Homo-oligomer: A and B are copies of this chain.
Amino acid sequence: MKRGTSRDIRTANRYEVLRQIIAASPTSRQELAAATGLSLATVATLVGELLDLRMITEVGFEDSAGGRPRGLVAVNASGGALIGVDIAETYVHVELFDLALNVLARAEENMRPGESRPQQVVSHVATAAGSVVAQAGVEAARVLGVGVSVPGQVDRATGISEYAPNWDWHDVPLLDLLSEHIAYPLYLDNPLRAGAVAELWFGAARGHGDAVVVNLGTGVGAGLVLGGGLHRGVSNSAGEWGHTTLVLDGRLCRCGNHGCVEAYVGAPGIMQNLSELFPHSPLLHPDDQTATIDALAIAVAANEPTAVQVVRETARYLGAGIANLINVLNPEVVVLSSWVAARLGEPLLKEVREAVARHALKRPLAANRIVISPIPTDPACLGAATFALEGALQSVGQRNVRRIASAGARSRTAPSG
């Protein structure tokens, strides 16, 4: 059991203030204090720290109601860059963000089915990372860090990919391999947690103490935000909701079990729902999940009856599974994220809400909202980049970066210079 120290409070407050600034840039210290519940003085020192780090800048003044004008601060977008890497079964996405978390450059590497050796994956990542830095034309020194999201079970402390189901990796020292090609600080975790952190900082989970980010892609899982922070579990593998049993002795799942949620609501599961209901449907593109989901999305948006039925059938399972999460965890918000959720969008959401209402208990249901993720880009990339941002902020607390009057940003070193 880890013990909390007063520094953790500072770190949490620093996160909170920066989050708020990114969300509502430009903003004043007053507004920040009101939004965070901190005192003006604390906000002022935190803002001072962030100014020293050149993560934010003063951008002018705002009239007050008959007094000294409020100084405004905003994210210093060009003050640094963050790289987010989303390693998936068939591709590697890399995005380079500025500090406002806008995408400045993007690169994608496709992996052929045979390519499963760690070295191959690492080299794709290195290539793409090099590419985005070059595209955006940022100096290497400005890159604050690289976050990497890799599927499966990850030990973020040691940087080891303990188990990656797609490629049958076991205890691959991924961070070490990556660090041979990439000189920036590296942060490793998995897509569930990346998605959760992305929603926590920039998405629908902002300001909520308890939230669940449901990831609907090829694989299925849930990122858990509990008590205002990410819940990792004792071996950093919490959130494997995709492999919880929903239909005992039900459909075979790729994990080897029967009746898992993923077997019904992951992209392959949805394809199976479709093919069981309408084996000859023109929507069905065997061997192409993306095409099938796309076709389904277009058809359901056009209110095509068979598509509606498939979405409804999917929502029947998904709703029951989400109701399980609501009953157990009692979260304030459930966010549907990842590409399947993004494409099926509102029609899916509507059916899911109805299905959840049939299964969840009244009180937890009443306290909960279900939404589609408002994040437009790849949430795993954004979340991975956010890990890098958190890492950059973390290091502030290490040494005493005290503001010495007008010493500016170099106060980190001895005040001799």
Name A's B-contacting residues (CB within 8 A).
1-6, 8-9, 12-13, 36-38, 153, 162-163, 207-210, 222, 224, 226-229, 231-241, 243-248, 250, 255, 257, 316-317, 320-321, 323-325, 327-332, 358-359, 361-364, 366-368
Specify which of A207, A233, A362, A366 lies most central, judged by the most chain B CB atoms within 10 Å of its CB.
A233
**Within the assembled complex, what's the spacing in Å between the Cα atoms of A311 and B247?**
21
Q: Pick the contact of A12 from B4, B246, B321, B325 — CB < 8 Å?
A: B4
Closest to A325 in B: B328
Contacts of A332 in B (CB 8 A): 234
Determine if A245 and B359 form an interchain contact, defined as CB atoms under 8 angstroms apart. yes
Given A153-B363, A163-B362, A363-B237; A6-B9 close (CB under 8 Å): yes
Given A227-B226, A248-B317; A233-B329 close (CB under 8 Å): yes
Determine if A226 and B228 form an interchain contact, defined as CB atoms under 8 angstroms apart. no
A135 to chain B, nearest CB (A): 37
Q: Pick the contact of A2 from B209, B224, B241, B329 — CB < 8 Å?
A: B209
Determine if A367 and B209 form an interchain contact, defined as CB atoms under 8 angstroms apart. no
A238 to chain B, nearest CB (A): 4
**Within the assembled complex, what's the spacing in Å between the Cα atoms of A38 and B1?**
12
Could you list some 19 contacts between A and B, CB below 8 A? A3-B9, A3-B12, A3-B37, A4-B12, A6-B6, A163-B363, A210-B233, A210-B234, A222-B328, A227-B231, A233-B367, A234-B331, A234-B367, A235-B363, A235-B364, A237-B363, A241-B327, A244-B323, A247-B247
Contacts of A209 in B (CB 8 A): 1-2, 234
7 closest residue pairs by CB, A with B: A233-B330, A235-B367, A238-B330, A244-B324, A240-B327, A234-B332, A245-B320
Closest to A238 in B: B330
A1-B228, A231-B329, A248-B320 given. 19 additional CB < 8 A pairs?
A2-B228, A4-B9, A5-B9, A224-B328, A226-B231, A227-B231, A233-B329, A233-B367, A234-B331, A237-B361, A237-B367, A238-B330, A239-B328, A239-B330, A240-B364, A241-B327, A245-B321, A245-B324, A328-B328
Contacts of A226 in B (CB 8 A): 226-227, 231
Determine if B237 and A330 form an interchain contact, defined as CB atoms under 8 angstroms apart. yes
Contacts of A6 in B (CB 8 A): 6, 9
Specify which of A2, A236, A329, A358 lies most central, judged by the most chain B CB atoms within 10 Å of its CB.
A329
Determine if B4 and A361 form an interchain contact, defined as CB atoms under 8 angstroms apart. no
Given A232-B330, A234-B331, A243-B327; A257-B359 close (CB under 8 Å): yes
Closest to A368 in B: B234
Closest to A232 in B: B330
Determine if B248 and A247 form an interchain contact, defined as CB atoms under 8 angstroms apart. yes
Contacts of A36 in B (CB 8 A): 3
Contacts of A237 in B (CB 8 A): 330, 361, 363-364, 367
Q: Pick the contact of A208 from B1, B153, B363 — CB < 8 Å?
A: B1
Contacts of A235 in B (CB 8 A): 330, 363-364, 366-367
Closest to A366 in B: B235
Specify which of A241, A317, A327 lies most central, judged by the most chain B CB atoms within 10 Å of its CB.
A327
Contacts of A153 in B (CB 8 A): 363
A412 to chain B, nearest CB (A): 26
Closest to A38 in B: B3
Contacts of A241 in B (CB 8 A): 327-328
